[in-house]
Structure 1
Amino acid sequence: MVGQWSGKEARALREAKRMSIREFAAHLGVHERLVSKWEAGGDRVHPRPVNQAALDTCLARSDDVERGRFAALTAVGPVSGAGTGGHTAVRGSYSNDAELLALIDSGAVRGDGSAAISERDLIMAAAHEASDHTGRAEATNIGPSTLDQLDADVTRIANDYVHTPPMPMMVEMLRVRRRVYRLLEGQQRPSDTSHLYLLAGSLSGLLANASTDLGYLDAAGEQIRAAWAYGEICGHNGLRAWARGMHALIEYWSERPHRALALAQSGQQYADSATAAVRLHNIEARIWSKIGSAVDTERCIRAATAASEGPVTDSLHDEVGGVFGFAEAKASYYAGATYIHLGLAEPALAATERTIELYRSGPARQRSYGAEALARVDSAAAHLINGSLDGAAEALSPVLELAEDKRIAQLEERLTGVRRRICAPTYRGVAQARSLDEQIEEFCGSTPTRSLPPGAG
């Protein structure tokens, strides 16, 4: 284990794994420029704590050959001492168990050097260490109902978020995650520690989603990298797959579509459930449509259809659900946005109308006001492509009446796209078009968060 990572150790780990800077960055879930910065700074640069954790996990998950190469690349010289024949003499250089074990850790008592250790001292030190460690391992700061309550909290938050404004939910997310962090600072069984990291990752993912809805994409990026690191630590594929998809969306909204593609595609290796695979294929299709590749978009849509037939579920996407789920209504919403990018009005109208109907007729608890509102904006765009101002105005009417605390950042960005369509020569001088444009302008002027760049959706 590395006490504190610097650029020197990060480079040694990358070289030990025989990875390029781009491959290593994708493996850690960071930008390749960040890895280059670490390596250029050498031992003067220390990654942030969340990236220190990611490097710890990467090293821990390396195989024996890779760890051996890493050790060779970062090795310090053997502990010095007096002796003959090139061996280190250690007799009399330890006075207690801790000092003896420290000598063993340092490699000072290998080979013939072990003859300098008292047999009894070695055996008793090993026995005492086992006894001490067992005593610590049996101690726990988690009662029988603690994890059950935290699981219930995460499930409640993930499902309430789809129909509740972001800000009050962020307060709740942060409160529960701080409780998880405090528990992780204590002592618990390894299986419970892993469970706590899953909870920390799930809550970081929820905070990434909320930060995105409020227009803070840089903060969302930090949260989703933390979620990914926690998924790596606890080895939960559902969290890994979801985090990769969310990170891809953040990069997509940040106008980095090729980076977004790499993340969505890399997530598929962790998609153990049908829902996870369908979600990632839909995200990839949406990104390809923004780039303008109809062929790749259709390929991903077909892949999503095929993946939906899988019977396998996972604990995050399917059991917790809510923000982590990807039900039919959410899939239809993604399809509508994808077809709008390609300028295909009819399939976009069919998908958005399907989304609106599914949310209208479904349970109120599962009605995502954000996805429904965005689907209505996409429906308006499709109507404008078809030359129907009446249809666009009707689709937008419920959106323009949304309460201010539900006006997520993506709405203004998408409405800006609708305004560009209204300003096209087709509608120039049309009174109804001018009126609709003024209503949208007023809506956007009162939207509290306007941090996404034009065209990001």
Structure 2
Amino acid sequence: MSEHPPQTLLKELCNQRGLDIPKMVELFERTADEVIGKGAKNPTCSERTAKRWRAGGVNPASLSPDTRRVLEAMFSHRVTHLFAPPPQPDPHAPAFDLEHEIDMTARDAQEDASAMAAASVSDTSLDQLTDDVMTLAREYASIAPAQAFHRGRVLQTQLQDLRDRTQVPAQQQRLLVLLGQATALLAASAFDLGAFDSARRLARSADLYGETSRFDPLRAYCDGILAYIAYFTGMPADAVAKARRAQTYGGLGDVARRRLLAIEARAHGYLGDVQSAHQAIRMSEEVESGARDELHDGIGGEFGFTVERLAMSSSSTALLVHDPAQAERSARKALDLIQQRPADRRSTHVLGGAAADLAMARLFVNDVEGAAEALLPLWDIPADQRVTGVLARTGQIQHFLTQPSFRGAVLPGELRGRVEEFTRTATAHQLTGPALLQLEA
């Protein structure tokens, strides 16, 4: 006994597409979202309703306009035709219905494209976040580290949200790189605030983003931060190892290598390895291959390493190896270079660090008046921009001025009190540990 033919065209189309009642209900809801887009106010279709529609005997005029629109979008037929009996096949028509096959192919393609679009994010949004990360990196030196941390945290949250929304490989790769850059800036600001444990964790997280995205310049930058942290927490040998490891990554430009050699030189100085310290300083000043990379050169800013920052770092290394003459020359060079930049582009970190190094170099030769003059730019640095590197240097000065040879003298006492007040009133003071790398005459 043969099966009865479908009572409606709607049921026949469902049979052709393999749409049972649950699948028809699911397709109705999905199409309603696409065609009507009223959320909770979209028309609905229960399994009972779907079964009644397929059976026939429904007056199309009883349906709401939105329901009719959804059904017509689903099946590419007028509702009056869908609820009518299916047309009788033409015995002379070809067995293969080309028009129907084309229609089905087009609808399948549309559904697949819609699903892919829903699993991607706007390239415009990615472009804007790329600009935002770059802007933060380039403005970093002239804003307070707490402000930089807040802005970096907002960027990190936005980037994580987009990463969860896209399945497009190219967008995933781009977001991994941006997340790594934003997290590295968070690590830098945490370090500048004296939160060394958190800075270390953030730097390692940024390094993982760099490893996953195969972006070696970011990994080298993160190793540099880890080397800084090791240096400032009394582990100079570890700092040397990390700086050297960072130099083994491929694709690094001259700026990256200059930065890492300067960090290595400072760590050698802390270890008392005078020869290696001088060699690393010389190599950092002679890097001139013309190589560039996308991070240290392409973005720059906090990811870069300016000539004045190199000079300041060299002055600190010279102090560690007890070479006050070289320390004064390098500190003066850093201060001269930074004065050539517009006021809103000057790094308070470099300005304060170089001024403190110059003062320390003069104290080494008992020039207290010269030290007081060198410190004049320091007093204008706002409390919220007195970063770890500056506070560590002022801590050295404060400690140096407690030596017996300065006791009872008026100017050393006044200078020591002013340096102590500068450190005490710094916003980051409560996060910063005791001054490290104390220097002795």
Query: Do both proteins adopt the same fold according to a TM-score greater than 0.5, normalized to the shorter chain?
Result: yes
Q: Give the superposition deviation at 1:207.
A: 0.6
**8 Å CA contact retained: 2:308, 2:333:** yes
CA distance in 2, matches of 1:136, 1:297: 59
Q: Give the superposition deviation at 1:364.
A: 3.2
Equivalent in the alignment of 1:361? 340
**8 Å CA contact retained: 1:158, 1:321:** yes
Equivalent in the alignment of 2:389? 410
**Counterparts in 2 of 1:319-334, with a 5 A limit?**
319-334=298-313
Q: Give the superposition deviation at 1:424.
A: 2.4
Q: Determine which of 272, 278, 282 is the counterpart of 1:292.
A: 272
CA distance in 2, matches of 1:299, 1:139: 56
Over 3 Å counting, the alpha-carbon distance change for 1:337 and 1:179 in structure 2 is same
Q: Give the superposition deviation at 1:140.
A: 4.0
Over 3 Å counting, the alpha-carbon distance change for 1:349 and 1:162 in structure 2 is same
CA distance in 2, matches of 1:145, 1:266: 37
Is 1:170 aligned to residue 170 of structure 2? no
CA distance in 2, matches of 1:319, 1:181: 23
> Residue deviations 1:94-152, cap 9 Å, x none?
xxxxxxxxxxxxxxxxxxxxxxxxxxxxxxxxxxxxxx999976754321212211111
Q: Determine which of 319, 326, 331 is the counterpart of 1:347.
A: 326
CA distance in 1, matches of 2:112, 2:211: 25
> Residue deviations 1:177-202, cap 9 Å, x none?
10000111122321221111111111
CA distance in 2, matches of 1:357, 1:436: 24
CA distance in 2, matches of 1:136, 1:337: 58
Is 1:452 aligned to residue 438 of structure 2? no
**Counterparts in 2 of 1:255-404, with a 5 A limit?**
255-270=234-249, 272-306=252-286, 308-404=287-383
CA distance in 2, matches of 1:444, 1:284: 27
CA distance in 2, matches of 1:317, 1:143: 27
> Residue deviations 1:306-335, cap 9 Å, x none?
3x2111111110111110001111110110
**8 Å CA contact retained: 1:333, 1:375:** yes
TM-score calculated relative to the size of structure 1 = 0.68
RMSD: 2.0
CA distance in 2, matches of 1:263, 1:430: 43
CA distance in 2, matches of 1:413, 1:143: 45
Equivalent in the alignment of 1:37? none
Partner letter of residue 368 of structure 2? L
Partner letter of residue 212 of structure 2? I
Secondary structure at the counterpart of residue 449 of structure 1: helix
CA distance in 1, matches of 2:357, 2:320: 10
**Counterparts in 2 of 1:126-205, with a 5 A limit?**
140-205=119-184
**8 Å CA contact retained: 2:384, 2:428:** no
CA distance in 1, matches of 2:152, 2:331: 30
Equivalent residues, number: 325
Q: Give the superposition deviation at 1:440.
A: 1.3
CA distance in 1, matches of 2:223, 2:159: 22
**8 Å CA contact retained: 2:233, 2:436:** no
Equivalent in the alignment of 1:233? 212
CA distance in 2, matches of 1:455, 1:205: 24
Q: Give the superposition deviation at 1:365.
A: 4.2
CA distance in 1, matches of 2:144, 2:188: 12
* % identical equivalent positions: 28
**Counterparts in 2 of 1:243-262, with a 5 A limit?**
243-262=222-241
Equivalent in the alignment of 1:437? 416
Secondary structure at the counterpart of residue 428 of structure 2: coil
Q: Give the superposition deviation at 1:410.
A: 3.1
Over 3 Å counting, the alpha-carbon distance change for 1:169 and 1:410 in structure 2 is same
> Residue deviations 1:189-218, cap 9 Å, x none?
212211111111111111111111111000
Q: Determine which of 428, 432, 436 is the counterpart of 2:407.
A: 428
**8 Å CA contact retained: 2:272, 2:320:** yes
**8 Å CA contact retained: 2:348, 2:381:** no
**8 Å CA contact retained: 1:409, 1:452:** no
Q: Give the superposition deviation at 1:299.
A: 2.0
CA distance in 1, matches of 2:115, 2:222: 33
CA distance in 2, matches of 1:453, 1:313: 38
Secondary structure at the counterpart of residue 145 of structure 1: helix
Partner letter of residue 454 of structure 1? A
CA distance in 1, matches of 2:408, 2:263: 38
CA distance in 2, matches of 1:341, 1:315: 33
TM-score calculated relative to the size of structure 2 = 0.70
CA distance in 2, matches of 1:203, 1:446: 29
CA distance in 1, matches of 2:370, 2:409: 15
Over 3 Å counting, the alpha-carbon distance change for 1:239 and 1:133 in structure 2 is farther
CA distance in 2, matches of 1:456, 1:150: 39
Partner letter of residue 294 of structure 1? V
**8 Å CA contact retained: 2:270, 2:437:** no
CA distance in 2, matches of 1:301, 1:439: 32
CA distance in 1, matches of 2:305, 2:125: 28
After the TM superposition, which of the residue ranges 323-332 and 410-419 deviates more from structure 2?
Answer: 410-419
**8 Å CA contact retained: 1:254, 1:456:** no
Equivalent in the alignment of 2:27? none
CA distance in 2, matches of 1:139, 1:155: 28
CA distance in 1, matches of 2:147, 2:226: 23
Partner letter of residue 262 of structure 2? N
Q: Give the superposition deviation at 1:383.
A: 0.6
CA distance in 2, matches of 1:297, 1:248: 15
